[in-house]
């Protein structure tokens, strides 16, 4: 049932890769070198098998059925919630299953923001945010006459902590920031930001889509009020995300979506709500996806999140060192692997990132090209787009060498 090793063991990426069927394929006659895990990760056999087993053995709706298969389906579904809560040290009743990280952030923006924000209140985000942590706040600000403000990024691609500190004030109601940037790779000091925000009476939401899959993350240690992440970036399936919230805050919020499952009673005069976490899970939930996410968590726990972080620190070093060898290439974000994740954005003068990505694809190398859903950051960087290579536990130094060689060929082709 997949790779198992102690948390301190170095990862054998070649052995891990054998657990991922898609990584054995070829592209244009070349072995696939998958360097786009920041967009979505590949899925190991145990995840595929767990989801297949649910559909083959216990396919039934959850919570309401009293027959055997319904009880089995409910048990497997809720086991996924328990696993993901365990992974991030979260209270189970505060672990809400959504369809992705975007919905998790929207849940907070609409269920909390619409009722709590008033004219002149401020929502503080950063210039390095994914659109998912900008647009929901802009929508809610339009309805409430609140203001969205942007904390600056330093020239070397890190959060300007003192600049942020100077922007937090008595009108600040929410500070929403990314834990690890999907463009810059920057690891933000979320716990320190949370302390600053709480001192001013503001709440804090961390977008952890790029951190939970790649390093140990503990909800309590971060000190935030909400944590949002997604299953498909952490070896799990698409269609499922997670919002972790402090139960006392979630308990005071009204539901975001209405329908079946999230109610305690419905009368013509009005409705009352289910207990947490089901209060925020309207309708039939992502059952097979929760089963798959639980299997993904067990796989990551078998590898060990400390080992995953150690491996990715080395991959970040390999990527930065290799890309630094390319003449005129620009790397965005910190170069110190201790201060970043293994998603590295870069550009070549005179070569559009899309052209570069298509050329690399001819060598079987998959990288991302575009604005990475971070247009405000692109404008700060002064570029329309970048290419991005992002590694995970199934990548190794040979993948970086293949990338470097292919970039050299592309550079020669476009020169």
pLDDT at 184 over 80: yes
Report the percentage of the chain scoring pLDDT > 90: 97
Of 316, 293, 324, which Cα lies nearest the Cα of 231? 293
Q: What's the mean pLDDT when you consider all of the chain?
A: 96
Residues 151/227/264/258 CA torsion (nearest 10 deg):
50
pLDDT at 255 over 60: yes
Q: Could you tell me which residues come within 8 angstroms of residue 73 by beta carbon, excluding any fewer than 6 positions away?
A: 54, 58, 59, 60, 61, 62, 65, 287
* Domains 13-31+304-414 and 49-301 in one fold: no
Q: For residues 317 and 337, is the Cβ–Cβ distance under 8 A?
A: yes
pLDDT at 16 over 70: yes
Fold of 49-301: 3.40.640
pLDDT at 415 over 90: no
- Considering only 6-20, 46-60, 188-202, 231-245, which range has the smallest mean pLDDT? 6-20
Q: For residues 157 and 332, is the Cβ–Cβ distance under 8 A?
A: yes
Distances in Å between the Cα of 239 and the Cα atoms of 97, 248, 397 are: 10, 27, 31
Fold of 13-31+304-414: 3.90.1150
Mean pLDDT along residues 44-62:
98
Tell me what pLDDT residue 3 has: 47
DSSP conformational letter for 26:
E
pLDDT tens, position by position, 124-163: 999 999 999 999 999 999 999 999 999 999 999 999 999 9
pLDDT at 352 over 70: yes
Whole-angstrom Cα distance, residue 76 to residue 294? 9
Tell me what pLDDT residue 64 has: 84
Tell me what pLDDT residue 9 has: 54
Domain ranges of the chain: 13-31+304-414, 49-301
DSSP conformational letter for 225:
S
Report the percentage of the chain scoring pLDDT > 70: 98
Which residues are catalytic, by number? 373
Of 137, 147, 204, which Cα lies nearest the Cα of 171? 147
* Furthest CA-CA distance within the chain: 72
| pTM score above 0.85 | yes
Of 132, 220, 112, which Cα lies nearest the Cα of 177? 132
Local confidence band at 7 (pLDDT 50, 70, 90 cut-offs): very low
pLDDT tens, position by position, 104-120: 999 999 999 999 999 99
Render 107-121 in DSSP notation, one character per residue.
HHIIIIIHHH--TT-
pLDDT at 291 over 50: yes
Q: Any idea what the Cα angle at residue 98 is, between residues 188 and 119, rounded to 5°? A: 65
Tell me what pLDDT residue 318 has: 98
Whole-angstrom Cα distance, residue 70 to residue 186? 44
Residue 10 backbone phi and psi in degrees, to 5: -65, 145
Provide the CA 152 distance to its chain's centre, in angstroms: 21
């Amino acid at each position: 049932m997949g790779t198992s090793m102690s948390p301190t063991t170095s990862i054998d990426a070649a052995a891990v890769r054998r657990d991922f069927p898609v990584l054995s394929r070829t592209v244009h006659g070349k072995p696939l070198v998958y360097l786009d895990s920041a967009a979505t990760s590949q899925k190991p056999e145990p995840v595929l098998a767990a989801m297949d087993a649910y559909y083959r053995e216990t396919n039934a709706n959850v919570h309401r059925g009293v027959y055997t298969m319904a009880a089995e389906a409910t048990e497997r579904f809720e086991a996924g919630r328990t696993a993901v809560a365990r992974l991030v040290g979260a209270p189970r009743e505060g672990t809400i299953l959504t369809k992705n990280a975007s919905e998790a952030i929207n849940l907070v923006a609409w269920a909390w923001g619409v009722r709590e924000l008033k004219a002149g209140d401020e929502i503080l985000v950063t210039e390095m945010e994914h659109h998912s942590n900008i647009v929901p706040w802009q929508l809610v600000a339009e309805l409430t006459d609140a203001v969205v403000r942007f904390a600056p990024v330093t020239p070397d691609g890190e959060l300007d902590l003192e600049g942020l500190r100077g922007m937090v004030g008595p009108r600040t109601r929410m500070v929403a920031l990314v834990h690890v940037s999907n463009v810059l790779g920057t690891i933000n000091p979320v716990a320190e930001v949370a302390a600053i925000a709480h001192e001013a009476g503001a709440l804090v939401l961390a977008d952890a889509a790029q951190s939970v899959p790649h390093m140990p993350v503990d909800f309590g240690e971060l000190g935030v009020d909400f944590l949002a992440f997604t299953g498909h970036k952490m070896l799990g399936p698409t269609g499922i995300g997670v919002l972790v919230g402090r139960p006392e805050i979630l308990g005071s919020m009204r539901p975001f979506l209405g329908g079946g499952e999230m109610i305690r009673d419905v009368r013509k005069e009005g409705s009352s709500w289910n207990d947490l976490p089901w209060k925020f899970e309207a309708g039939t939930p992502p059952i097979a996806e929760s089963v798959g996410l639980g299997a993904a968590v067990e796989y990551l726990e078998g590898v060990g999140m400390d080992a995953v972080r150690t491996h990715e620190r080395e991959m970040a070093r390999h990527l930065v060192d290799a890309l630094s060898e390319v003449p005129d290439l620009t790397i965005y974000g910190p170069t110190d692997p201790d201060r970043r994740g293994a998603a590295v954005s870069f550009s070549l003068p005179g070569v559009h990132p899309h052209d570069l990505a298509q050329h690399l694809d001819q060598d079987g190398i998959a990288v991302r090209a575009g604005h990475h859903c971070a247009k405000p950051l692109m404008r700060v960087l002064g570029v329309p787009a970048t290419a991005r290579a992002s590694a995970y536990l199934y990548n190794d130094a040979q993948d970086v060498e293949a990338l470097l060689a292919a970039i050299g060929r592309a550079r020669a082709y476009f020169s």
